[in-house]
A and B are shown apart, each in its own frame.
Chain A
Amino acid sequence: MAFFEKMLNGSLLFDGAMGTLLQKHVVAGVMPETLNVTCPEVVIDLHKQYVAAGSDIVTANTFGANELKLRGSGYSVESIVSAGVKNAKKSGAKYVALAIGPTGQMLEPMGTFKFEEAYNLFKTQIVAANNCGADLVLIETMSDLYEAKAAILAAKENSDLPVFCTMTFQQNLRTFMGCDALTALVTLEGLNVDAIGVNCSLGPKQLVPIVEVFIKYCKKPIILQPNAGLPKHNRHDILYEVTAQEYVQCMADFFRKGVNILGGCCGTTPQYISLLKKAITNIKPEKRTPCAITAASSGTKTVVLKDEGVYVVGERINAVAKKEIRDALKTDNFTYVLSEAVDQMKAGADILDVNCSLLDVDEAKTLTHVIKTLQSIVDLPLQIDSTDPVAVEKAIRVYNGKPVINSVNGSKKSMEKIFPIAKKYGALIVGLTLDEQGIPKTAKERFNIAQKIINTANSYDISKDDILIDCLALAVSAEQQQAMETLKAIPLVKTLDVKTVLGISNISFGLPEREFLNSVYLSVALSKGLDVPIVDPLSHITMNTIKAFRVLNNEDANIIQYIVNFSDVPKSLTVETNLMNLILEGQKEKVAQTVNQLLISEIKPLDIIDNYFTPALNVVGEQYERGELFLPHLMRSAEAVKAGFQIIQSSMSTSALSKGKILVATVKGDIHDIGKNIAKILLETYGYEIIDLGRDVPPETIIQNVKTHNIKLVGLSALMTTTIPAMKETIEKLRNENLLCTIMVGGAVLNNEYAKSIGADYFAHDALEGIKIANQVFKKQN
């Protein structure tokens, strides 16, 4: 096909601005896309001007033609899209691109719009364009990589057209959603987009640092359609600062360096395109040789696994290996899972492994939910750890970025299942050196399986840059002669030019003082060339081994990281016994240490709570109410107590400590949840167990959880006057179910009378009042 030939080996010229030029023909509030039907001649005329200027591809006027944006306009997606493509074809252009812009909604987790909702919006646009004669789909002006992913999947799953995708960046070289160029590139390449690049944003000159990243790493054709600089305004019009000559000069330079699909965005006109056409006609572009990298990403961050580096995969979120995670997942305690993630990140993990394999639990559903939850807080790439291909596919579909899949193995069945998923969505893949015959005994046999995995991946068009080989560490207690054999395999496998990964902790399974064995094994493995150890980042000895190795390996240049890290370590900490004072001062770490000491000296956990925590909190609370302390003081002490509680919880079950279970939620439609979160932490410090359903919670979810957890006290919050009706509805529905629970409400716009009028039992004007109410409710019940 001539088009693909031009795209891959020649050049393609797009048109320039459409929407901004068409906007002049409609009044504010009317979408320029409706001109496709109301004034097709205006649209066709503009397309023709671009064709005359030399554009190979014209972009149909369909950018915002989605169901949500067209709602109330009187037009259907089908009518605007088909008219748009038809108009573009009438211009006589060689090729017509169906333009797909952002939905206009912010996707979860930062927003409230669901990934599948976005997918369905895009799908309607793609389906409407099928059979209209578009030659390609151009997904453009994307700020959110996650939204781009939804559009790409919708395009690829509902048409056979080539898919181009361009993102838009700000002056800080990130998109509005915080995505940088490399992260966009790595993710979009993984999703097999046919041409990748940048549009809109800034002027061509300001885009140099972004385009350079693309030129250096992008294996696909690069597409570039900048604005004519930033808009400048006078009282009547918008003017763009970059003239056609300046624009073309800069663009021609990019073309010379191998950016072969060019065009313009806001502020560019047929004149810009015509000059651009002339300028590039006689340029022979340099042949680009993109650098190969092994990289995983989240939606905003990429971890490139360099040859000279060691990268840590945190292993703590593992339902098979850790009872606490199993319990947390079974009871929907995702806060615990999140805190494990945050702790590992702070300890220096580069990637987090996530394993949710549980008996009696729908793994795909749990894994998907956990992945989404983790990505709402932590920006590290995740490693999807599952043996169930269905769970892997569901999780990778909703993942934002390019994850690691853990794992495939050398058996035909495993590779047939996993490679197509990895190819479709883009991922690094951990390849285990075992196959139908089990785990081989020798290093050479492991090498052979690694080679088989790499070759098979290649047949799926998966590059070995995306493969990490695991030579399999086995429990030395069971397979003592294997420990060294595994390590021998590492340098052998590395001759295949792939990175290696190893689950270090397996080695010490069943033995005492596991950390010693782990750290020695880790040291030897690193010296054999291991790139990616899977370890417990909260183990000091393990992380210190890695930090030390980074010095010896010449990775920690000038030993800066090492020195900074160890110069901060406090010399032998003296444990203060005045726990009360420590709480009043909000000294989190010292409170935790002191509680630990008290437990060691056999003080009973409940005595610590009754004799220290509660009285200290009461003092702080009273001082706060008298105005002697203010909110951050209160929170500081609460956090200190919480740190103490966590120590106690590790020696005692949560239910034995619990004064009662309270469900808290911010009601449907409201996303302001800081007040609820303040109340939550204070209630926790007084010994209540909190089921936190988060924000924007529908009444049905609240009812269901009240039933499942047998809740006696519900705390609802709403900040906006506009969401009070939702609070009322939630209370009514709870009452209609005849659930014997007390309801307290809080929020800036509420007061006592108002709370009563919507059916609440209590109004808490602040978090401390919430505690008094809780004490009262549970006293009555006990």
Chain B
Amino acid sequence: MLCGKIFMDITLDKLEILWCLGYKKQVIDDAFESLIDAMIEKFMQTVNPRYVFEIFDIILTNHEVEIKNCGLKLTGKGILEHLKNNKKCIVLAATLGVEVDSVLKFLQMTSMTQAVIFDVCATVYIEKVCSFIEAELKMLGYNMTFRYSPGYNGFPIENQKVILTLVDAQKIGLIFNENFLLMPQKSVTAVIGITEFNASENQKCVVCKLQGN
């Protein structure tokens, strides 16, 4: 198991935040620009990111992906398809910490404008955390498929339980509730196949509505 929490080099760029907010070169006044700056700063002071991942040997059956040497299985047509060429997979879990949820809740009370910007900061940041982990893995020499998360088509959300158990996510303060929603809310889990083949062959999403993207 590998886990960590230092992301010194992850920063947020104003333009990225703007794009995610739906910016299409509209006129941005100074007040608005400084609001974005202030929200990025507030977010960076608040975020408390942590992650954990582990590599497992897998066996594919007709109906499920069995994790070798333990009684746990990932289910769903999508995950079977996703890992069809793989003998190993990476299970990862990352969270930005409950502080982000808490500030977001507060901002929704006091200023929805700020809340909307802060929310986007969180979305962009968690994506960067995941990309950071992937980059680390690539540096270790793994050839990988894309990230596939429970809740997407073909990978039922109930798989959160298995995923969080596999990586003992409670260690990073990440848990799921009775509806299999992750808590803290700004968290991601994903399964990545480790492939012997050229990764690019496996990069296209073939199972969900984003097919072809």
Interface residue ranges, A against B (CB under 8 Å): 27-30, 102, 104-106, 109-113, 143, 170-172, 176-178, 231, 233, 238, 335, 338-339, 342, 376-377, 585-586, 627-633, 635-636, 638-639, 669-674, 677-678, 681, 720-723
The contact of A674 among B2, B21, B108, B162, by CB within 8 Å, is: B108
State in angstroms the CA–CA spacing of A176 and B97 once bound together.
7
For the complex, is B12 an interface residue (Cβ under 8 Å from A)?
no
Min distance, Cβ A718 to any Cβ of chain B, angstroms: 11
Contact A111 B183 (CB under 8 A): yes
For the complex, is B211 an interface residue (Cβ under 8 Å from A)?
no
Interface residue ranges, B against A (CB under 8 Å): 1-3, 5, 21-24, 26, 29, 31-32, 35, 48, 67, 69-72, 97-99, 101-102, 104-106, 108-113, 115-117, 119, 151, 153, 157, 162, 165-166, 170, 173, 175, 177-181, 183-185
Contact B112 A28 (CB under 8 A): no
State in angstroms the CA–CA spacing of A6 and B195 once bound together.
59
Binding site of A, secondary structure by majority: helix, strand, loop or mixed?
A: loop
Contact A631 B21 (CB under 8 A): yes
A–B complex contacts, Cβ < 8 Å, 28 sampled: A27-B71, A28-B70, A28-B166, A29-B67, A29-B165, A106-B177, A110-B98, A170-B48, A176-B97, A176-B98, A177-B98, A231-B3, A238-B1, A342-B110, A377-B106, A586-B31, A627-B24, A630-B24, A635-B113, A636-B32, A639-B113, A670-B179, A671-B181, A677-B108, A720-B151, A721-B151, A721-B153, A722-B157
Min distance, Cβ B53 to any Cβ of chain A, angstroms: 10
Min distance, Cβ A12 to any Cβ of chain B, angstroms: 27
State in angstroms the CA–CA spacing of A677 and B24 once bound together.
24
State in angstroms the CA–CA spacing of A177 and B67 once bound together.
32
Report the nearest B residue to A681, measured CB to CB. Answer: B112
Given pairs A106-B98, A111-B177, 13 additional interface contacts (CB within 8 A): A29-B67, A29-B162, A110-B102, A112-B179, A231-B1, A238-B1, A377-B105, A377-B106, A630-B23, A632-B116, A636-B113, A669-B179, A678-B112
Min distance, Cβ B159 to any Cβ of chain A, angstroms: 12
Which residues of chain B are within 8 angstroms of A28 by Cβ–Cβ distance? 67, 69-70, 72, 165-166
State in angstroms the CA–CA spacing of A29 and B117 once bound together.
39
Which residues of chain A are within 8 angstroms of B24 by Cβ–Cβ distance? 627, 630
Q: A170-B48, A674-B119 are in contact. Are A633 and B102 (CB under 8 A)?
A: no
Which residues of chain B are within 8 angstroms of A170 by Cβ–Cβ distance? 5, 48
Which residues of chain A are within 8 angstroms of B116 by Cβ–Cβ distance? 631-632, 635, 674, 678
Contact A178 B98 (CB under 8 A): yes
Min distance, Cβ B124 to any Cβ of chain A, angstroms: 14
Which residues of chain A are within 8 angstroms of B173 by Cβ–Cβ distance? 143, 176-177
Which residues of chain A are within 8 angstroms of B111 by Cβ–Cβ distance? 639
Which residues of chain A are within 8 angstroms of B184 by Cβ–Cβ distance? 106, 110
Which residues of chain B are within 8 angstroms of A630 by Cβ–Cβ distance? 21-24, 26
Contact A27 B69 (CB under 8 A): yes
State in angstroms the CA–CA spacing of A176 and B171 once bound together.
10
Contact A110 B71 (CB under 8 A): no
Which residues of chain B are within 8 angstroms of A233 by Cβ–Cβ distance? 1-3
The contact of B175 among A30, A106, A339, A636, by CB within 8 Å, is: A106
State in angstroms the CA–CA spacing of A376 and B21 once bound together.
27
State in angstroms the CA–CA spacing of A672 and B123 once bound together.
13
Report the nearest B residue to A722, measured CB to CB. Answer: B157
Which residues of chain A are within 8 angstroms of B175 by Cβ–Cβ distance? 104-106, 111
Contact B185 A671 (CB under 8 A): yes
Which residues of chain B are within 8 angstroms of A376 by Cβ–Cβ distance? 105
State in angstroms the CA–CA spacing of A681 and B111 once bound together.
10
State in angstroms the CA–CA spacing of A111 and B105 once bound together.
12
Contact B99 A633 (CB under 8 A): no
Report the nearest A residue to B71, measured CB to CB. Answer: A29
Q: A29-B71, A176-B98, A627-B24 are in contact. Are A113 and B106 (CB under 8 A)?
A: no
Contact B71 A632 (CB under 8 A): no
Report the nearest A residue to B73, measured CB to CB. Answer: A29
State in angstroms the CA–CA spacing of A526 and B157 once bound together.
59
Report the nearest B residue to A29, measured CB to CB. Answer: B72
Which residues of chain B are within 8 angstroms of A178 by Cβ–Cβ distance? 98-99, 102
State in angstroms the CA–CA spacing of A377 and B184 once bound together.
16
Contact B177 A112 (CB under 8 A): yes
Which residues of chain B are within 8 angstroms of A635 by Cβ–Cβ distance? 112-113, 116
Min distance, Cβ B97 to any Cβ of chain A, angstroms: 7
**Which of B26, B35, B179, B184 has the most C-beta atoms of chain A within 10 angstroms of its own C-beta?**
B179
Which residues of chain B are within 8 angstroms of A106 by Cβ–Cβ distance? 98, 175, 177, 183-184
Min distance, Cβ B78 to any Cβ of chain A, angstroms: 13
Report the nearest B residue to A31, measured CB to CB. Answer: B165
Q: What are the 10 closest A-B residue pairs judged by CB atoms, nearest first? A: A176-B173, A27-B70, A28-B70, A630-B22, A635-B113, A106-B183, A669-B179, A29-B72, A636-B113, A635-B112
Contact B179 A722 (CB under 8 A): yes
Which residues of chain B are within 8 angstroms of A627 by Cβ–Cβ distance? 24, 26
Min distance, Cβ A396 to any Cβ of chain B, angstroms: 23
Which residues of chain B are within 8 angstroms of A670 by Cβ–Cβ distance? 179, 181
Contact B26 A628 (CB under 8 A): yes
Which residues of chain A are within 8 angstroms of B70 by Cβ–Cβ distance? 27-30
The contact of A377 among B109, B117, B178, by CB within 8 Å, is: B109
State in angstroms the CA–CA spacing of A112 and B177 once bound together.
7
Which residues of chain A are within 8 angstroms of B170 by Cβ–Cβ distance? 102, 104
Which residues of chain A are within 8 angstroms of B183 by Cβ–Cβ distance? 106, 110-112
Contact A720 B181 (CB under 8 A): yes
State in angstroms the CA–CA spacing of A709 and B72 once bound together.
49
Which residues of chain B are within 8 angstroms of A669 by Cβ–Cβ distance? 179, 181
Report the nearest A residue to B27, measured CB to CB. Answer: A628
Q: A628-B26, A638-B112 are in contact. Are A723 and B179 (CB under 8 A)?
A: yes
The contact of A633 among B32, B48, B69, B115, by CB within 8 Å, is: B32
Report the nearest A residue to B177, measured CB to CB. Answer: A112
State in angstroms the CA–CA spacing of A747 and B116 once bound together.
16
Which residues of chain B are within 8 angstroms of A30 by Cβ–Cβ distance? 70-71
Which residues of chain A are within 8 angstroms of B101 by Cβ–Cβ distance? 110
State in angstroms the CA–CA spacing of A159 and B35 once bound together.
54
Which residues of chain A are within 8 angstroms of B1 by Cβ–Cβ distance? 231, 233, 238
**Which of B110, B113, B177, B185 has the most C-beta atoms of chain A within 10 angstroms of its own C-beta?**
B113
Report the nearest A residue to B56, measured CB to CB. Answer: A28
State in angstroms the CA–CA spacing of A677 and B98 once bound together.
20
Contact B29 A585 (CB under 8 A): yes
State in angstroms the CA–CA spacing of A521 and B15 once bound together.
54
Which residues of chain B are within 8 angstroms of A681 by Cβ–Cβ distance? 112
Which residues of chain B are within 8 angstroms of A586 by Cβ–Cβ distance? 31, 113
Q: A27-B71, A723-B179 are in contact. Are A632 and B99 (CB under 8 A)?
A: no
Report the nearest B residue to A343, measured CB to CB. Answer: B110
State in angstroms the CA–CA spacing of A67 and B70 once bound together.
22
Report the nearest B residue to A30, measured CB to CB. Answer: B71
Report the nearest A residue to B184, measured CB to CB. Answer: A110
